[in-house]
Structure 1
Amino acid sequence: MKLHTRTWGDGDRTALLIHGMMADHRTWRRVAPALADRGYRVIAVDLRGHGASGRGEYSPRLFADDVVETLPTGADLALGHSLGGLTLSLAVDRLKPKRAVFSDPAWYLASAEGFGPEVFARFKALASKERVREMNPRWDEVDVEIELETLAAWDDATASSLAELSTSDLLPAAPVVPSLVQIADPSFLISPERATLLRQRGFEVRPVPGAGHTIHRDDFEAFMASLEGWI
């Protein structure tokens, strides 16, 4: 499936951005312009079932197939958050970016107690400005508004694609290209033991102290600082 995309900048380098569950390209409202200012042409997708992209069947591998069909190969940088990190890891051997960044990636959910596909649908049903603000006290008000807009544009049936992650561990065996894993601190997806395993497998791992799962919206400055040397 060809995905809806948004582009910022016209630099000589290319960066690809892949959002997480319930979001779309609007989640990168600060990251994309910052990368454009550094000389990148930045392309962000809306995954299937999100934003302005089409609907259909949902699985991690279908998400990956879509980004491969939509995005250019050989980009200088590819960055995926949460579901986007999982998607990138399943597509990286075909996208062939020079560097990859996985931001608190969703490779396994069995260790995240009480966290499953039904949680997302329930969150959408109960979402309000006050609830989103309460759950994300560090977000700018514009990010609260964007969260509500992207929730309204999101097909909650996509959450069924996460069921596989409750029984299957998709932690990569090795990086396909030089790869950074950013992790929230604490992270409910990447435990200290799994962070150690990732380092042993050849990934660079950088915690972002105090940041929640959506690092780029919780602490934008720290998010960008943790990318130094990779962008």
Structure 2
Amino acid sequence: MKLHTTTWGAGDRLALLIHGIMADHRTWRRVAPALAERGYRVTTVDLRGHGASGRGDSYTPDDFADDLVETLPSGADVAIGHSLGALTLSLATARLAPRRAVYVDPVWFLPDGPDGYRPEALTSAKRLTKEQIRAINPRWSDEDIADELATLALWDERSAHGLESFTGRELAPAAPVVPSLVPLADPSVLVPAERAALLRQRGFEVRTVPGAGHTIHRDDFDGFMTALEGWI
């Protein structure tokens, strides 16, 4: 599927940004212009079932990855994916061949069992009010909250069910395909300390943004950009 894209800047270097589940390109509201100011041409996508992109008949990680390859150019200077976008990017990295990859708090392991991944925990977000979003994300700006309401309204909640068959499976790459950074929340629910240590053993550089929640770039924009130093 060809995805909807949005571009900032006209620099000589190319950056690709891939959002997480329930979001769209608007999650990068501050990051994309900041990269453009650093001399990048920044291209963001709306994944299938999100934003202005088409709805899908299925929503597996491989579907998402194939869409990236069909839509985005290869050989970017840096590609950054958040959460589901990080998983999607990791499945497409060999084909997209960016010079560097950044996997932000990636969905590389979803626990199963009674306390494991439940799509309903995500689909219930469709009913959140502005006040509830603010309570869950007290560090977000008014603009972020407005964007969240707008993106939730457009999100195809069936995409939450596409991950069910991957619960209990290790999806992290055995080794980085290209030089790779993993910025983590503090604490990271998705990548706890023992998994972070494993990623370091596999050759990933892992950095933590103190005090930031899962959506690091919205919780602490300055901390997120600092975590990218040396990679952008």
Normalised-by-shorter TM-score class: over 0.9
CA distance in 2, matches of 1:162, 1:218: 25
1:6 is matched with 6
TM score, norm. by length of structure 1: 0.97
CA distance in 1, matches of 2:228, 2:153: 31
Counterpart AA for 2:185 = A
Matched, 1:211 2:208: no
SS state of the match for residue 2, structure 1?
Answer: coil
- Alpha-carbon offset, residue 114 of structure 1: 5.2
Matched, 1:135 2:136: yes
User: Any unmatched runs of 5+ in structure 2?
Assistant: none
SS state of the match for residue 181, structure 1?
Answer: strand
Deviations 1:47-85 (A, max 9, x none): 000000001111000000000000000000000000000
Deviations 1:174-197 (A, max 9, x none): 000000001001011001000000
CA RMSD of aligned residues (A): 1.1
1:151 is matched with 152
SS state of the match for residue 91, structure 2?
Answer: helix
Mapped contact 1:73–1:94 kept (Cα < 8 A):
yes
CA distance in 2, matches of 1:109, 1:188: 10
CA distance in 2, matches of 1:114, 1:69: 32
Post-superposition, which runs of at least 4 consecutive aligned residues in structure 1 deviate over 3 A? 111-115
2:178 is matched with 177
Q: Percent identity?
A: 67
TM score, norm. by length of structure 2: 0.97
1:37 is matched with 37
CA distance in 2, matches of 1:170, 1:32: 27
SS state of the match for residue 183, structure 2?
Answer: strand
CA distance in 1, matches of 2:219, 2:164: 27
Deviations 1:105-156 (A, max 9, x none): 00111079454211111121x3100000000000011100000000001000
Matches within 5 A, 1:65-104: 65-104=66-105
- Alpha-carbon offset, residue 33 of structure 1: 0.1
Of residues 156-165 and 9-18 in structure 1, the stretch that sits farther from structure 2 once superposed is: 156-165
Mapped contact 1:109–1:116 kept (Cα < 8 A):
no
